[in-house]
Amino acid sequence: MKKLSDSVIFSKLSANATLIQNMKMIASQNGIQLLNPDKDLPNEFNTIERRINYTTKGPILNAVNKGIINIYDDEAHKIVPYIPAVPGRNSVNGDLAMYVNIVRYKTRSGEIYPKTLFALLQDALIYYELQKNWNKYTNNLDLMKVSCFLYSRMTTKILDKVFALDLNEFNSDFMSFIFAKFFLVNMCERANNDLNDQIAYKCCFNRSNIEMIKDYETQLADNRFNSIFDLIESLGVISAVKGINVRTFVENYLRMYGESTLLSLDFLPAFYQSIFSAAIGGNLVKDYMFESVCGKQLINCYTIFSKIILQK
């Protein structure tokens, strides 16, 4: 599985010594006072157990009970909103564990909206699942098909806004194809081969000729899938998006989907955290925008991912 440090968005735009040190302290539980759900958040968990019926609820509550997901409330160890859960180790058995700080999301009365708490715990579960069972998710073709479709839609929407990309059917299909392939090859670490070309091609609404698309792709640099920065830079040779640059692209992406989605551009756990928070209305991202751009495929993807979680 790709590590957070493999994300160029994180390493070049976000990471700093203070953030890294803070994450290390959290991962080692240095100075962290964990909350007891029954004693410290009784109302919130009671509401979750009685009123929230999403498929992930059982696995989330089970993970909390087992100490796989841990909650704390600490202003001194507050993390940026696009890292909702920090991986570390369980102090008892040394296994992988996730740590979630709720301080940013509390109300003035000191409580936290149960749906928001559930969304944060779900983010932790997603990260944990991908860390433990990477291949089970990235080798599932149904999940890959709908996931790269959503990623392609989310990213090309930015190009539509900046460059009016949808005015030309071939250009629109080409960009849909390229971003879908980036998702598969870079974020999911799948091979750059004919199978993934066919999966990416299903993201092309206008069904432009696939051989023409693949021939047009040869204009791009060989390193185009090495990072999101390399991809955006390589697209500079395409006249339809002339003048594209990483800064403009990322800024428009955050403006459209919310600050918490920053890492979803090149880090798979963050991608699923963003879209699935929107799927349940967790209010961690701009839920309404995801619903508008992704449509019914948002819930379809959530359903497929949830079924994989439940597999033994």
* CA R_g for the chain: 20
H/E stretch holding 70:
strand 69-72
Dist. CA 3–CA 268, nearest whole Å: 10
Per DSSP, the residues of 90-122 read: -TTT--EEEEEE-GGGB-TTS-B-HHHHHHHHH
Question: Is-contact 310 59, C-beta < 8 A?
Answer: yes
pLDDT of residue 108: 84
Q: What is the pLDDT along the chain (312 residues), one digit of tens a residue?
A: 888 999 999 998 888 888 999 999 999 888 889 999 999 999 999 999 999 999 999 999 999 999 999 999 999 888 999 999 999 998 778 899 999 999 999 988 888 999 999 999 999 999 999 999 999 999 999 999 999 999 999 999 999 999 998 889 999 999 999 999 999 999 999 999 999 999 999 999 999 999 999 999 999 999 999 999 999 999 999 999 999 999 999 999 999 999 999 999 999 999 999 999 999 999 999 999 999 999 999 999 999 999 999 996
- Rounded to whole angstroms, what are the CA distances from 174 to 141, 171, 214, 219? 22, 5, 9, 12
pTM summary value: 0.96
